[in-house]
Structure 1
């Protein structure tokens, strides 16, 4: 009898403890604390046995490549931010080839990652693989560059710069510089990778601004693939074919830096004999501007890694996110570049 009594008392005691714990978990204070917690960096899954477990958010990201200082800074920002957020990052370098990106995205789908992100090499040709991701229930986030798909449901959001606006800013500076002259101003243009969003949009924005100014004329335009080596090569060709070049508009700093080498080799002074407008704002570009070799820089901010990780958390938490998020960016003259150079992070 005594042994049975002890067993029954123990059972009653354990029941009371469980009841108290359950009530405590439902009080108002606990609910409010949970509402103020930051977004989780884990996802909850259900096993075959019916139990639930938390695991790290797995993020598959396909980068364009490492063609420029800007891209390197962008990659570092994403990698470091993913680590700080506690994500399991699956990273792939496409080496500027669309087929490599499509292969990487399909690999992410097979690995059943939680989210896919990528910066498209070109605008077109993504619908099939994006539909595969959608059918697999994996949200896709576009970064830096967008796609030209008419079905916007294939991706959740696009986080990046307004490339058309960047081109417009470049054009506005040029118009202002030559507002008091009617003489023809000969412009050569170093475009980005053919078919890429920044190349298309930066050209569109620039031409939109200068089209009503008859004295501003683009006399040559060719891709430099966003690289210094190609920028130098194409600028050499421009200088051989055109004896009177007043302005160079480069779609990124690296091409402009390569072009500067060609200009100097031709015995000309960059920034004086040929005014240079460029886009990006990498540290090497700021250095050239501080030396007077680049006249105007339109910033394109690559350090959006933290913003991307926050967006991923919101998407997985079921929160509504805007279809388009524009990064904050500025412009820099020679004097402004000199002032900002010591604190430039990339």
Structure 2
């Protein structure tokens, strides 16, 4: 019988082989013409996991394409090193979803001097990219504000807003659009703003800390579904009822926003396309030197409520 140490060593070797295979290549065979590097801000947020999945799945439609994936694990310093590593490996095109736009600006612009660069989700005027792909966060914030206004009706109410990172472009845009709509209604008050770094558990902890300060909270709007779910868990543990929870992302699958709406955990959410599939399609166009390509692609977002399921228009 093999010793426990031998078994563990073999198991770890197998796992490492699987992980490396998943992270370094999207193609098992075929003649590779183009090597693409994808630098992801983190793989903790389900939305970013979905983005990578879409990139990998769509890239498999092109036998001449190979994708190398890097995970910055929420560290801008690591993401800079990740991009440098990808450039050293001779990539033909860089895709990047920045952890922090300002910190990544120098390396993004340095890469853009050599190869095409596609930026996903987080934009910055100082980026010299070939193409930006992402939804309009300001418009989504406005949509969320209008939805909350409709939920509260003439009586108005108290709202808590949960942001991701306070200075990230998605958080800034969503909050600005949301607050502008609510500011037009004197009977609606944002009583607190929580920064939860896009994390469900952090949102749960933060909501537990602040929610008992207020006699009544009617709506909690979170900048992603994971934080909205965390807020709902906090309220349930404190046995606080009557709060409606609204999120953003609208992912499918277990604990995704669509399921949370279907289950009644969230009153509504807004789908936030990752742009992964579109990025691969435009990557091929850029690498094939197709003319007339846009510099920005804005992805549309739609509201998801239980009525989507009741009228048969399942997202």
The TM-score, its normalising length taken from structure 1, stands at 0.76
SS at match of 1:280: coil
SS at match of 1:155: coil
**Could you say which residue in structure 2 is the equivalent of 1:295?**
267
Count residues with an aligned counterpart.
280
Cα separation, partners in 2 of 1:293 and 1:143, compared to 1, 3 Å: same
Q: Which of the numbers 277, 280, 291 marks the counterpart of 1:306? A: 277
Are 1:59 and 2:36 matched, yes or no?
Answer: yes
Q: What is the alpha-carbon distance in structure 2 between the residues aligned to residue 339 and residue 158 of structure 1?
A: 35
CA contact (8 A) 1:167 1:202 kept: yes
**Could you say which residue in structure 2 is the equivalent of 1:117?**
95
CA contact (8 A) 1:139 1:156 kept: yes
Cα separation, partners in 2 of 1:340 and 1:122, compared to 1, 3 Å: farther
Q: Which of the numbers 262, 268, 286 marks the counterpart of 1:315? A: 286
Are 1:194 and 2:163 matched, yes or no?
Answer: no
Q: What is the alpha-carbon distance in structure 2 between the residues aligned to residue 248 and residue 331 of structure 1?
A: 16
**Alpha-carbon offset, residue 337 of structure 1:** 4.8
Gaps of 5+ in 1: 1-53
The TM-score, its normalising length taken from structure 2, stands at 0.83
SS at match of 2:82: helix
**Alpha-carbon offset, residue 330 of structure 1:** 1.3
Q: What is the alpha-carbon distance in structure 2 between the residues aligned to residue 102 and residue 85 of structure 1?
A: 28
Gaps of 5+ in 2: 1-30
**Alpha-carbon offset, residue 110 of structure 1:** 1.9
**Alpha-carbon offset, residue 339 of structure 1:** 6.3
**Could you say which residue in structure 2 is the equivalent of 1:227?**
199
**Could you say which residue in structure 1 is the equivalent of 2:302?**
330
Greater Rg by CA = 1
Are 1:240 and 2:209 matched, yes or no?
Answer: no
Q: What is the alpha-carbon distance in structure 1 between the residues aligned to residue 74 and residue 102 of structure 2?
A: 14
**Alpha-carbon offset, residue 177 of structure 1:** 2.8
**Could you say which residue in structure 1 is the equivalent of 2:68?**
90
Cα separation, partners in 2 of 1:260 and 1:159, compared to 1, 3 Å: same
**Could you say which residue in structure 1 is the equivalent of 2:150?**
176
Q: What is the alpha-carbon distance in structure 2 between the residues aligned to residue 328 and residue 176 of structure 1?
A: 21
Q: What is the alpha-carbon distance in structure 2 between the residues aligned to residue 75 and residue 127 of structure 1?
A: 22
Q: Which of the numbers 261, 282, 296 marks the counterpart of 2:251? A: 282
